[in-house]
């Protein structure tokens, strides 16, 4: 059963507010956000900075900010969440 607030909004799981690390905060801001918004903001950053490999859109080529989060030069879109989850606290 999902946790809900009194107003009916969801607060558990992907909707639970998380605190980004300083490295992730440089991309998504330092305020607590639902995990879903963190992922969305990272994607916005990737797209606005053209960080997807044009020959393989599933591959993300990290710039300096993303290297601090991913710890590597390239990740696939499927690996991305694993690295982001290491940079958020409940």
Here the tokens at position 17 are: 């507010």
Here the tokens at position 23 are 């490295």
> 15-89, what's its fold?
MDM2 (1.10.245)
Query: Where in 1-90 does DSSP place strands (E)?
Result: 17-20, 33-34, 52-53, 56-61, 74-76, 88-89
Look up tokens 């905060």; give the residue: 25
Supply the pTM of this predicted model: 0.82
In tens, the pLDDT along 29-84 reads: 999 999 999 999 999 999 999 999 999 999 999 999 999 999 999 999 999 999 99
Domain ranges of the chain: 15-89
What whole-number distance in Å separates Cα of residue 7 and Cα of residue 29? 26
- At 67-77, the pLDDT tens digits run 999 999 999 99
What are the angstrom distances between the C-alpha of 15 and each of 18, 37, 73, 75? 9, 8, 29, 24
pLDDT at 9: 56
């Amino acid at each position: 059963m999902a946790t809900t607030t009194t107003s009916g909004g969801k607060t558990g799981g992907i909707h639970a507010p998380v605190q980004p690390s300083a490295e992730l905060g440089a991309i998504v801001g330092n305020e607590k956000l639902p995990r879903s918004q963190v992922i969305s903001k990272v994607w916005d950053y990737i797209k606005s900075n053209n960080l997807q490999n044009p020959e393989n859109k599933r591959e993300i080529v990290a710039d300096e900010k993303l290297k601090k989060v991913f710890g590597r030069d390239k990740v696939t879109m499927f690996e991305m969440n694993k690295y982001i989850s290491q940079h958020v606290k409940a």
